[in-house]
Amino acid sequence: MPSYSAPLRDMRYVLKDVFQMDKQWASLPALQELIDMDTADAILEEAGKIAGEVIAPLNREADEEGSHWSDGAVTAPSGFKEAYQTFSEGGWVGLGGNTEYGGMGMPKTLVGQVDELVQGASISFGLAPMLSAGACLSINVHASDELKEKYLPNMYAGTWAGAMDLTEPHAGTDLGIIRTKAEPQSDGSYTISGTKIFITWGEHDMAENIIHLVLAKLPGAPAGPKGISLFLVPKLLVNEDASVGGANGVSCGSIEKKMGIKASATCVMNFDDARGWLVGGENQGLACMFTMMNYERLGVGIQGLGAAEASYQNAREYARERLQSRSPSGIQAPEKVADPIIVHADVRRMLMTMKAFNEAGRAFSTYVASWLDIAKYSDSETDRKHADTMVALLTPVAKAFMSDKALDATVMGQQVFGGHGFVREWGQEQLVRDVRITQIYEGTNGIQAMDLMGRKVAMNGGSSIALLAKEIHAFVEDNSGESAQEYTQPLLASLHLLTQATETVVSQAQDDANAVGAAAVDFLHLTGYVTYAYMWAKMALTSQALLAEDEAFHGAKIATAQFYFQRLLPQTGALAQGISAGSSAVMALASEQF
């Protein structure tokens, strides 16, 4: 049977030892009185208990049961409502929320760890608080004080949930062609009419009310994305005293039958003259949405990491117990009929690959979160601007590279189980199905790659990559000792490939309109491998310094770093070669030749 154990030791290692986040928290005035490492430890301990003891035990049976739709109402799988209430009562929905309205105000560097715990326990469940937190973020930044006071306290408390309504049947990535309409009313509200699809937890019975953030167009709005506005539309109308009133014109037409995340309701939502209220300015809807998009896209990468960690944990335990054949280097378990499969090099290759990508992903997501915290909390305009640039560069990598490697990790975990990985009772095939969506929603990974290569690199001539390269060079200069060179020299070599590839595509794009698209995915993966190498160099040198304190733990970190540099990082060479080839082979066929 599948199980999940909170990886708290690794999380504390990343926060305390690798990044020394207590120093950053102490340097940001808004966080100084809220968070220190002891507080973080206590929060992680409690979150680990809820994830492992309350949420994870529901995951497999909830997948088999699924959510239920009947006459517009959605019922969550057995146990989800009670678990959501337990989760909400602990204040977890508002963990990163504005303290003025009842949130706990914790930094993303800590919230991201809690997110991983919840998603590792169950992506289907974790999507509900994730979407609520994203909706709260947009409301907090862009809504009027009146709307914030009316909605945020109950949303942070989990009494009310949140949903994001963007996609329409004909408009996925191209939101500029949405048809949902908003008509202004004399009382300052709007009537919203239209249909949205793929709305995660758009309807359910876990909360008293559901607050939808809906993209729509006002009469006479400019064509395309410049004419989109954002509206707050509650499922149930809210009275002046913030109590729940009558029904609004919001209904769920159906829920999707899906490959994975079957326990979560993916809804078709109909808005029939539903009352809504403008969030932000007219025609500023995309800007309001993008306030939370970096957090949500990082959150999707963390979803993948959670599932990949769960897959690794179960594969590791299975490999320690499953007896098959004898070790080629000699019998390891003479008292048994065969040796456990963990003795075999290929099984170890899979486990080491999973371990290397998971632990680098945890460090990388924390690194990206640290820039989000600086951008949000720093009182230095220069630091905030620098952080914004780094967030813009790294977010598509966090979403796409982390989720791509998460799918790889869940497939490898399934492979370790052999035939047992293909049947439901062991839970591995569910992780493969569940994590697959992370490459698709919040902007497909191809779109993320185009965003990185086009907007974040080519459009600025590679200046953002130069900022990352400058930071890595400074790190190498600060760690110039002989014992560091095992990690810093291949890191610099891979960084050189990245900077060369940047120059190549920027040059190609001047004469070839397809150059960016042809290079995009390879470039994103190249960036991912290099940034993971940066994370592993940091971790290896940290563990070298701490080896005497815990030889088993830190020795494993050093060995995994060596595996990453020797066996995984060399893939950067092939990626760089593909990028340099340009777009000619990609675009060679006429459409009828496919």
Cα 85 from Cα 400, distance rounded (Å): 32
In sequence order, what DSSP letters do the residues of 12-26 get, joined into one string? HIIIIIIS-HHHHHH
Task: Indicate the SS3 state at residue 167.
Answer: coil
Helix or strand holding residue 515 (H, E): helix 515-546
CB 181 within 8 A of CB 127: no
What is d(CA 431, CA 413) in angstroms, rounded to the nearest whole number?
9
Question: Which one is catalytic: 116, 203, 442, 486?
Answer: 442
> What is the maximum alpha-carbon separation in the chain?
84
Say how many C-beta atoms besides its own lie within 10 A of residue 103's C-beta. 22
Q: Which residues contact 197 (CB under 8 A, 6 or more apart)?
A: 167, 168, 169, 268, 269
Task: Tell me the C-alpha to C-alpha distance, in Å, between residue 58 and each of 62, 206, 259, 328, 379.
Answer: 6, 15, 18, 40, 43
Alpha-carbon torsion (432, 435, 440, 445), positive or negative: negative
**Distance separating the N- and C-terminal Cα atoms of the chain:** 44
SS3 67: coil
Quote the CA–CA distance of 92 and 492 in Å, as a whole number.
Answer: 41
Distance, in Å, from the CA atom of 204 to the CA atom of 309, rounded to the nearest integer, reads: 28
Whether 317 is catalytic: no
Sign of CA dihedral 317, 320, 324, 327: positive
- Who contacts 334 (Cβ-Cβ below 8 Å, separation ≥6)? none
Integer Cα distance of 498 and 96 in angstroms: 34
Helix, coil or strand: residue 578 = helix
Give the integer Cα–Cα distance in Å for 463 and 8. 37
Give me the active site residues, please: 442
